Structure 1
């Protein structure tokens, strides 16, 4: 695929959707034995017999509860029934199960606000997505699920403020990149106890790589993981089991139970550094689209996403917009599904004709228009863009023709310039980009001309380090001097694991980079490595 080539034809995707609907599918290579349904069974139409929930002998709520995508009068509630989560199917027969849910004003459920029933379908691996509506805006709620004699853990969530309201403050957390085999999710233990309103997950919720019997760097001595985790995820069952492994982590479950999440994917939820229908190994696009369909399906099943994000075969509209009154607008991007193939073989490379072809895109034309049109209509003080890969220029060496990452926005400079031109034309005064991917914490000033430190500052970029990917890391990675000298708009660089919190207020925003000293051993304490402030109407980061 040439650097400026556009995504493959709709006919290819239609073929993948058609194959995906078949109950049994036999193809060669990576897509072997993929089978799934494309739509939730409609009310009154059951694809399986019903299981009497009182026959479930073991706790089915082993993977906890979650909530997400808070709206002013609605929030998404999630759980999965899996009494044996490391087994295919979670230890349940292929029968549907009735699940009861409750949403209350108090943790003891004495003042129930909403309740109902929902069906956990085997076609969706007995996951449950409840769009609880008719709620009060700007309120905290508690929720739980029941089936048979079993009651789930209690979750805590909240709704967004009313449209047009002017909330005084919002505190968000940004997280990314949680390779199970690289260490413990200790940062989530601390995040579960932190006082935040919403968590943005910026990609790499799981990794497709094999996890050995001892959990990789976790080096278990008290348990042995099943052999089916010790291979790369390819089929729908592979991805489902991998989510079960990740969600069995108690710290991840605690964070999901404590706060609503807003999620977007990057590459590893499917396969490393893929671009649209091009994988990293040069497999036929039709074959990769089948793998992508499996990955996208498992992603939707296992995360607190609403029905509009339900995939149709290998396609899913993950980009979407949320608001927090008139304080903030969040435009959540997908920079993986629609992008042109990486230039120069996806190797670090100085910019050139291939990477700078103006036809290249990291968002796709439709999403790019949606983003800029949304900015033009925005009434929010802060316009925040949660997305995946580094947005600001990041020179990797000190030479005159410095290399850049071809997988980040640096490999799509025309795409970045169109987006920044859209921000300028929309009159955005307070643009903030939230980023994951690189397993380090960065704070950037977004410049009109990254090669001219004196040029106008257009916004700020806050890059959240990984939860565990990259293992323990270091406060000053080996390339710290090089990066800070080569990029004067880089105001902070730290290589430890953790997360970042951002407090948005009517006058300013504050970013606190929080890190742990170790993830290869559990229980490390957390500290604030650095804090920065940017003033409303005066973009640019300053130490707090």
Structure 2
């Protein structure tokens, strides 16, 4: 038998054997000596990589690898973490490796931007503590294609995951999908306290109340909430198997946030919003790293060869003016709506969601791209959702107090208006002027979306010109497919908007009544001119498949969220050419 190289000690041999077997083992007390002649230390406690592994912001040459290390109870100080990357699951040979340090300054998270990778290539990666030899699970990721390397690009589009609203079956479905990458459009966490928004009797037995129990305000609060979300096994699996491309929406900060404030932030009792933004931003980057030079500016683009230019936007924090509210234009004494004043504010050409700097960047990005598809990762709906005014008031009342009487009133009026609209579409000459006015007097239902910033939306459409434009959006907890049309009626593109991972949709306003949900969907598709499809009750994601021939959106849904079941079915498929 040939003599074993004496430089390979028993400790190193066992350690290498464990790593090459997959790297998922935790080896307390076995491989812990700093030197071969030192006595072994028996490390104690639930130490290791408890939040799993993840990869972010893939490019043709780079990918960011992430993990978080929890120290043993008898381990102190910073932790030196080794990372390894290979094209084979055996990790032989390695294509890249190195060490990083997990410190308290970043909540013991580690993010490594690995360069020098091959385009359109699957990679395996893992982490190991150099002190305790605790090893992570093996992650999988993939770099982006260049040129004509890929005949298709598949993106799983997700948003709005509320931990206490139910199990993350959607993430389990995404993990099992054949998506090349996951695009997360925000509301990765929610800021509310335990028992607040999202809590419901159907999922109470799951014991998923938010931690900490209070609304999150401090850096420690935000970190604790991210750790809780990342403890979810289905979310961990999605991160382990797919690279993520993320942006924030409002709940990573506070509900209905804008540049200088938020609906769910009260300075008198919760302090400076700037301070809250700063700590929320820090925690976001610790747990969802992005390849940006300025951590306050997360808008950036991804090139999937010559097929897709994905421009990820920040429609929430960097440049957004405060949202308008219809109630601000209604008389407190008579209830009369000041149409002229609202129209002036609504159509203000200077109202912005992006800010001048981001808007200029986007115009340059769209103008300089020769990709087949221009895809905008926009947190909020871009399609016009203009509904008859008389229904708008009822929707607002239902949101505040969904009583059976209000629901019956809504159904009756929606049925009447739908019948009138159908007669109009069929050129029925008996439609009266009063009936026509009922269906044609419309206002946007959601001023937090692009509907609240119509002048800037027109600037965006002008920048895109005649290029093939797709908006992917989240935020609403419902699934939509809409035409994107300019103020003059030109079709500028299409929108594929996903449902939520777990946050409740319109079914919460409709008392879960199946017939009411179906009627709501049908009436809105008829009354809203640009809306082609709406699912108002199911949780799910969009699987967008883009080829040289077309862009297809598969609207995929999971079942109830009180039982772990990642099986997904396709409820609707739409095709853009």
SS of the residue corresponding to residue 199 of structure 1 reads strand
Q: C-alpha deviations, 1:304-333, integer Å up to 9, x for none?
A: 423535x3xxxx111011101111111100
| 2:504 counterpart (470, 476, 480) | 470
Structure 2 counterpart of 1:250: 233
Superposition pairs of residues 379-394 of structure 1, within 5 angstroms: 379-394=370-385
Q: Hey, what's the Cα distance between the residues in 1 that align with 2:41 and 2:479? A: 46
Q: Hey, what's the Cα distance between the residues in 1 that align with 2:500 and 2:206? A: 26
Structure 1 counterpart of 2:3: none
| 2:128 counterpart (134, 146, 149) | 146
Q: C-alpha deviations, 1:420-442, integer Å up to 9, x for none?
A: 11111xx41x1111100000110
SS of the residue corresponding to residue 157 of structure 2 reads strand
Q: Hey, what's the Cα distance between the residues in 2 that align with 1:406 and 1:357? A: 14
Structure 1 counterpart of 2:409: none
Superposition pairs of residues 322-333 of structure 1, within 5 angstroms: 322-333=302-313
What is the total number of aligned residue pairs between the two structures? 463
Q: Hey, what's the Cα distance between the residues in 2 that align with 1:471 and 1:403? A: 21
Q: Structure 1 residue 525: deviation in Å? A: 3.3
1:531–1:308 Cα change, 3 Å: same
Q: C-alpha deviations, 1:401-423, integer Å up to 9, x for none?
A: 32311101111011101111111
Q: Hey, what's the Cα distance between the residues in 2 that align with 1:457 and 1:224? A: 44
1:189 aligns with 2:172: yes
1:117 aligns with 2:105: no
Q: Which structure 2 segments of 5+ residues have no match?
A: 1-39, 330-336, 390-437
Q: Structure 1 residue 191: deviation in Å? A: 1.0
1:416–1:92 Cα change, 3 Å: farther
1:264–1:114 Cα change, 3 Å: same
| 1:287 counterpart (272, 286, 290) | 272
| 2:550 counterpart (492, 495, 508) | 508
| 1:420 counterpart (434, 441, 461) | 461
Q: Structure 1 residue 81: deviation in Å? A: 1.2
Deviates more, 1:515-524 or 1:100-109: 515-524
Q: Structure 1 residue 465: deviation in Å? A: 0.5
More helix by share: 2
Q: Structure 1 residue 131: deviation in Å? A: 0.5
1:456 aligns with 2:490: yes
Structure 2 counterpart of 1:363: 354
Superposition pairs of residues 68-467 of structure 1, within 5 angstroms: 68-82=56-70, 95-147=77-129, 148-162=132-146, 164-212=147-195, 216-217=199-200, 219=203, 221=205, 229-280=212-263, 281=265, 283=267, 287-306=272-291, 308=293, 311=295, 316-337=296-317, 338-344=319-325, 352-397=343-388, 399=438, 400-404=440-444, 405-424=446-465, 427-428=466-467, 430-449=468-487, 455-467=489-501
In the alignment, is the contact (CA less than 8 A) between 2:383 and 2:495 conserved in 1?
Answer: yes
Q: Structure 1 residue 160: deviation in Å? A: 0.9
In the alignment, is the contact (CA less than 8 A) between 2:144 and 2:303 conserved in 1?
Answer: yes
1:352–1:295 Cα change, 3 Å: same
Q: Hey, what's the Cα distance between the residues in 2 that align with 1:493 and 1:62? A: 38
Q: Structure 1 residue 165: deviation in Å? A: 3.9
Q: Structure 1 residue 111: deviation in Å? A: 2.9
Q: Hey, what's the Cα distance between the residues in 2 that align with 1:93 and 1:223? A: 31
1:234–1:134 Cα change, 3 Å: same
Structure 2 counterpart of 1:530: 572
Q: Hey, what's the Cα distance between the residues in 2 that align with 1:524 and 1:502? A: 19
Structure 1 counterpart of 2:526: 485
Q: C-alpha deviations, 1:254-282, integer Å up to 9, x for none?
A: 10111000000100001000110122245
SS of the residue corresponding to residue 414 of structure 1 reads helix
Aligned-residue CA RMSD (Å): 2.7
Q: Hey, what's the Cα distance between the residues in 2 that align with 1:487 and 1:456? A: 16
TM-score by length of structure 2 reads 0.75
Deviates more, 1:434-443 or 1:487-496: 487-496
In the alignment, is the contact (CA less than 8 A) between 1:346 and 1:407 conserved in 2?
Answer: no
Structure 2 counterpart of 1:12: none
TM-score by length of structure 1 reads 0.80
1:60–1:71 Cα change, 3 Å: same
In the alignment, is the contact (CA less than 8 A) between 1:100 and 1:146 conserved in 2?
Answer: yes
SS of the residue corresponding to residue 300 of structure 1 reads helix
1:194–1:133 Cα change, 3 Å: same
SS of the residue corresponding to residue 303 of structure 2 reads strand
SS of the residue corresponding to residue 443 of structure 2 reads coil
In the alignment, is the contact (CA less than 8 A) between 1:471 and 1:519 conserved in 2?
Answer: no
Q: Hey, what's the Cα distance between the residues in 1 that align with 2:108 and 2:41? A: 12
SS of the residue corresponding to residue 150 of structure 1 reads coil
Q: Hey, what's the Cα distance between the residues in 2 that align with 1:519 and 1:242? A: 20
Structure 2 counterpart of 1:45: none
1:520 aligns with 2:562: yes
Q: C-alpha deviations, 1:501-522, integer Å up to 9, x for none?
A: 0111011111100011211333
